[in-house]
Structure 1
């Protein structure tokens, strides 16, 4: 699949992300979008990322734009540093997708690019790239300021008494996450650091990984296990039993702790937030759509979050110990810390149980051509008999509602929800399930994937 923009930046196969293609997109970005004081560049730990980051830097310097190379750094730390310097940024990462793919995330000095910016970049691709004297190249480490952000807001004893496992795998922010938790007073145990890139999707955690987390929590007596995806903008959190806490539940808890008044979240997030007294704005899936929704309520105490756990802070908040400035890009640290703080001295499972009894589960079928996924979703959306046959597989053919904001989301008469959506940046068909308890959601997910496999052959 040729590189293209999806729900989170430009993505494609590494072999197709050639220096010419990278250079053309970076040059188009620099022509079409605000740059400010220069360009900050960061990367994740994929084998292909150093080369691609070098291509980004060469293209920007060739266009006469000053570059600050931040090396291997999590996406939110790069964004925070760039915005603080009034600069644009490019993060080289494929996030949670396999290592044979990679991509670019673009930031203006105001934050993550919008869909309008994407359109402007694509429109500028064919223009002749400017050339001039090679610009300056500097280096910076955004890590210490990123850690200090949370210590200032939550205090050096915020997590005192908690034994936290950090599943490091190949996440680029693994060391910063350990540093942050220790700076907040936690007793940290590192788990399973890897020198080989491991794609971790925090929204679709495989059974084998769930079993590994449960076994590790029990064996090491941990209060929680935390981790992130490859570029550190999506969190993974378990309770003391190793049970994964859904990302949208993390978002709900963080929104309440920060006393937000409006929550912007995609249609894939669970419906429990609708009962918590906040104004809720639903969007299509992807942080650009969440950001657009947040920008509709300027001046509000607004937050955004996704079912993958990525959390966006749209106002100047105050933590238990001090100020917490806005950060309009997905962040993994804030929902991890806020959830552990909200749990207090009690078990995290008790805090999660206090949330509305609505739970989501998600996974995807991989290597499914986008055309096949789109055709299936279209048929189930427009053909009543096909839809009825599909729903019969779930033993509940009565519909309470249909939503086509992003894919096909069907609310059953029982209150359970099934949602199909072709991925925007990979050959995958995603399936989301919502039910009244975690086991029911997982069972609904398993049935959905089984049904889709049969239909797609």
Structure 2
């Protein structure tokens, strides 16, 4: 797909992602979809209302009515879509910096549209095959109040509320000035937790930190955990569909470790777990211990959600899925990422008195390394990819490594793995590696990256 990538379409607002472009996307969506009513929501970004107006106009121009939800987390928009049976457009750039914005497309089941549906919309967009309606058939729009409250109540009724309340936990929360600031404090307080916050004022400038919930942006959360003697720290991205954690010492928990801990509590023999090709060995270990299958997809939440739907249609049970970036999916709840719900499910792991550090300790003994091999032009890109293929062929023949090629080349060595895949946004081939020690991971990554670079020197 040229327009819709692993999670919608994004760009610098008013430069790459303009109101004119958003209007064209909305016209394509309204033309391809059969529904006559849509919901539109946005996160806290300064350009959100501008782009929401363009989306609403584009939908109305092809005859669709629009429910305007205002500032709502992405999972709140998805919950509204599923409850009302209407598709939705979410205006968000998720974890990208403040200058960015984007569009996510959601079906009437509350799930991001699968790849094949996005391809049809993209074809209409690129071909400008838009439906045009007469002036007296254009759609109307209305402001809808209460979407955030409906979402909060959904999360509350979907977790073990009394068990969490009985634990009398203290939660340090950093919603990063995003849409989750309007909902997550209420969720955790109404679960009976003492809640202390930082960066909890909705603000599209993101003054306290960048929206991406990675350790380099979360020093304030670590300090808050320590100062408040909290049991756990929880942080969201800009649209509130991810949750990452800090332990009771104010130390970051690797997203793959928290994913593995959540999975270990869910997975049974015969289940299938879905994750991306850069999946951590931690999750591999959990699946092997439970005698469950691990199904890998290309990187990106859209690919993962599409695969969950396919497997469930085939009769497979998929209790958990996602990526190690805080984007965990519990299909029994909904096939979508939901930061507040993920956080509440982690609180369930603490409800019997275990410390957060103890909960993830069995899955915290791997080291990760990532390096980039840069290229200039298509010829160098192809040379790097050819070198990755040759390296993988040699590793499988000489070292007995397992090879996965659904998105780049991933080599599994049992105790470690390394992956080379082209970036979808930058002129680099990324090399990821994971092992029990940083030295081993670094050796794998550096060796593969050196082979790639040698191909263009």
Classify the TM-score, shorter chain: 0.7 to 0.9
Match of 1:262 among 246, 264, 272: 272
Which of 256, 272, 279 is the matching residue for 2:285?
272
Q: Does 1:120 align with 2:117?
A: no
**Partners of 2:243 and 2:443 in 1: how far apart?**
24
Q: Secondary structure at the match of 1:245?
A: coil
Partner secondary structure for residue 226 of structure 2 = helix
Give the alignment partner of residue 164 of structure 2, picking from 143, 158, 162: 158
Secondary structure of the 1:87 match is coil
Q: Tell me the matched-pair count.
A: 431
Q: Flag the structure with higher strand content.
A: 1
- Name the structure 1 match of 2:58: 59
Does the C-alpha gap of structure 1 residues 72 and 425 become closer, same or farther in structure 2, counting only changes over 3 Å?
farther
Aligned to 2:226: 218
Which deviates more from structure 2 when the two are superposed, residues 360-369 or residues 139-148? 360-369
Could you tell me the TM-score, scaled by structure 1's length?
0.82
CA-based RMSD of the aligned residues comes to 3.5
Q: 1:373·1:422 contact (CA, 8 Å) conserved in 2?
A: no
The residue aligned with 1:394 is none
Q: Name the CA shift for 1:193/1:268 in 2 (closer, same or farther; >3 Å).
A: same
Q: 1:201 aligns with which of 209, 212, 216?
A: 212
Corresponding residue of 1:381: 388
User: Does 114-123 or 376-385 show the bigger shift?
Assistant: 376-385
How has the CA–CA distance of structure 1 residues 48 and 215 changed in structure 2, closer, same or farther, with 3 Å as cutoff?
Answer: same
Name the CA shift for 1:411/1:157 in 2 (closer, same or farther; >3 Å).
closer
Is 1:23 the counterpart of 2:37? The answer is no
Which residue is 1:417 aligned to?
417
Aligned to 1:234: 242
- Mapped contact 1:263–1:304 kept (Cα < 8 A): yes
Q: For residues 421 and 342 of structure 1, do their structure 2 counterparts lie closer, same or farther at Cα, with a shift above 3 Å needed?
A: same
Work out the CA distance in 2 between the residues paired with 1:167 and 1:387.
46
Unaligned runs of 5+ in 2: none
Cα distance in 2 for partners of 1:53, 1:364 equals 37
Give TM-score, length-normalised by structure 2. 0.82
1:96-129: CA deviation from partner (whole Å, max 9, x where unpaired): 1223322100012132111101110122122133
Shift of 1:39: 0.6
Change (3 A) 1:430 1:219: farther
Indicate the larger mover: 362-371 or 341-350: 362-371
The question of whether the paired residues in 2 share the 8 Å contact of 1:96 and 1:230 is answered with yes
> Following TM superposition, by how much is the alpha carbon of 1:430 offset from its aligned partner in structure 2, in angstroms?
4.6
- 64-73 or 151-160, which moves further after superposition? 151-160
**1:372 to 1:233, Cα distance in 2 relative to 1, 3 A:** farther
For the structure 1 residues 300 and 386, does the alpha-carbon distance in structure 2 shift closer, same or farther, using more than 3 Å as the test? closer
Query: What's the CA shift string for 1:7-30, capped at 9, x where partnerless?
Result: 001122321222322111111112
d(CA) in 1 for partners of 2:32, 2:190: 40
Q: What is the CA–CA distance in structure 1 between the aligned matches of 2:452 and 2:176, rounded to whole Å?
A: 30
Q: Secondary structure at the match of 1:40?
A: strand
